Amino acid sequence: MKKVLSLLLVLLITQQVFTQEKDVEAFDPELINWFHQDINEDEVMGASIDKAYRELLKDLEPKKTVVVAVIDGGVDIEHEDLEGKIWTNEDEIAGNGIDDDQNGYVDDLHGWNFIGNAKGENILYENLEMTRIVRERDSTQPYYEEALKEYENLVEKKSKEKKNLDSFLEKWESAHLILKDAFEVEVQGLAELEKIEPVESHERWAKEFLSQKYSQGATQAGLNRMRDRNSLYLDHYLNLDFEPRSLTADDPDDLSDRNYGNPDVIGPRADHGTSVAGIIAANRQNKLGIKGVAESVEIMAIRSTPDGDERDKDVALGIIYAVDNGADIINMSFGKGYSPNQAFLDSAILYAEKRGVLLVHAAGNEGKNIDRNKRFPSDMLTDGSEAGNFLNVGANKKELDKMIAGVFSNYGATQVDLFAPGVDMISLDSSSTYSQSNGTSIAAPVVSGVAALVLAYYPELKAKELIELLMESSYKPKKPRKVYAPNLASKERSKNKFSELAKSGGIINAYRALQLAEERSTE
């Protein structure tokens, strides 16, 4: 039992969960906007955004307002720090129930929600893709056996986790109840325990047990989060009997079946997408919150990603919608390990490439080399060809040392193109709040923002040219000579040159990108 409790506590204290705050001043001031800083001037491994504005753009006017589509779980388009930064479909009349611009989407004023229905109902939770594959029981599919094995292993792991957590919580709650009954004290931490002088043996056990666990970092809130997270897996992600797709009343395996969804781009879970949008476009001129990367930018909100794995069809249609409605860049901060309808994604990616739209994708947070562990969407298409409009982004932290790559970040010398700030990031949250987070999900919008910043001043750049420019101008760390490769599965992390973690071997740098864009524009 001691081993079980120790493992649970390790899991508890390594799962960072940050609270929403109404004021950005509630956070460590050194973390606010750190991704804007410069390695040479500030000794912080940011994207050199402030330096670019200060030295390169101060006397220039942008030539274009860049539209960045955020395909995500929803964006709080009413957030105070996104005022003036939300794309509006000028050809649509809000709320009249008519498809005014005849694009197939009724009242799509700021984007579209592909996981909802015409009644205004929305999908919040979904299965993991492996669960959907297992439910189909189609053993002829090449990925079925792999998905089945992974599914069974994860079900076993989460079931054991629930059993151990239930046992731990029984002891935890019993110890609190003993002390409350004996001393009329609601124990919430070490402060209350220090005032208690136990007499009976069960009282001594309760105090000793709680003293140890509180000292190790346990909290009631943290344990509640663990229990809720475990329930999400067993009740939704891995539950073969949970099938929410009936709500949309479409065929998820038919790309031509497009008569579904609604214009609610906020949805029931807008925290993640709002954070992404904030990094790209939070208003730089007001005195609120944070500064977004790009100033001359608008966010088109597309909801396709529930709490669980997204459907290939929804993502593909989201890409097509963004392209057809004028997006220049599409940010995709999501991903999964299986893609049963990869052909849908291939066609959408190629459609965007043909129209010159840049796709920016988060590499994922499993701490794996995705040269060997494929993630979707991907620029590697089913036929073996490679799309030329796709950037895959890993996450770095602010200190340039051996731990520069986020321990959770996926990496790969061919499948990850470059890194960007993505650790200890402060951004927007839903309901005009702010929060702190980690992830390649937050690194990708740094790249989308820098791409938008460059494109606003050099709109003649094609998607492929923009990719080449961003990768070439990225900051290539020379010291330390070797850094630790990300790894969540083991404390033993291999040492590699940073150039071996991404194709460019670099970290996004707005200052250098704009310099290079100017050089090439005058050639």
Question: Using an 8 Å Cβ cutoff, are 81 and 283 in contact?
Answer: yes
Between the alpha carbon of residue 169 and those of residues 8, 105, 417, the distances in Å are 11, 49, 44
The per-residue pLDDT for range 495-523, each reduced to its tens digit, is: 999 999 999 999 999 999 999 999 999 87
Burial (Cβ within 10 Å: 0-12, 13-18, ≥19) of residue 279: buried
Q: What are phi and psi of 175, to 5 degrees?
A: -65, -40
The per-residue pLDDT for range 277-319, each reduced to its tens digit, is: 999 999 999 989 999 999 999 999 999 999 999 999 999 999 9
Q: Rounded to an integer, what distance in angstroms lies between the CA atom of residue 338 and that of residue 128?
A: 9
Between the alpha carbon of residue 127 and those of residues 243, 260, 373, 377, 449, the distances in Å are 8, 20, 21, 17, 31
Question: Using an 8 Å Cβ cutoff, are 351 and 323 in contact?
Answer: yes
The structural domains of the chain, with segments of one domain joined by +, span 64-125+249-521
Torsion sign (Cα): 274, 276, 279, 284? negative
* Per-residue pLDDT, 402: 96
Length of the chain: 523
Q: Rounded to an integer, what distance in angstroms lies between the CA atom of residue 218 and that of residue 46?
A: 33
Q: Which long-range contacts (CB under 8 A, 24 or more apart) does 189-192 make?
A: 189/214, 189/219, 190/214, 190/215
- The backbone region for 431, taken as left when phi is positive above 0, alpha when psi lies in -120 to 50, beta otherwise, is left
Q: Give the residue from 364, 134, 371 showing the smallest Cα distance to 239.
A: 134
Statement: the pTM of the whole predicted model exceeds 0.85: yes
Q: What amino acid occupies position 190?
A: L
| First-residue to last-residue Cα distance in the chain | 70
CATH 3.30.565.10 assigned to domain 64-125+249-521? The reply is no
Interacting residues of 117 by C-beta distance below 8 A, sequence separation 6+: 247, 248, 249, 260, 261, 262
Question: Using an 8 Å Cβ cutoff, are 49 and 510 in contact?
Answer: yes
pLDDT band at residue 18 under the 50/70/90 scheme = low
The per-residue pLDDT for range 45-73, each reduced to its tens digit, is: 999 999 999 999 999 999 999 999 999 99
The per-residue pLDDT for range 168-226, each reduced to its tens digit, is: 999 999 999 999 999 999 999 999 999 999 999 999 999 999 999 999 989 999 999 99
Percentage of the chain modeled with pLDDT above 90: 93
* Per-residue pLDDT, 491: 85
Per-residue HEC secondary structure of 314-355 comes to HHHHHHHHHHHCCCCEEEECCCECCCCCHHHHHHHHHHHHHC
* Per-residue pLDDT, 5: 47
Q: What is the DSSP string of 195-257?
A: T----SHHHHHHHHHHHHHHHTT--HHHHHHHHHHHHHIIIIIT-TT--GGGGT-S-TT-TT-
Q: Give the residue from 30, 13, 15, 25 showing the smallest Cα distance to 399.
A: 30
Per-residue HEC secondary structure of 101-169 comes to CCCCCCCCCCEEECCECCCCCECCECCCHHHHHHHHCCCCCCCHHHHHHHHHHHHHHHHHHHHHHHHHH
Q: For residue 4, is pLDDT > 60? A: no
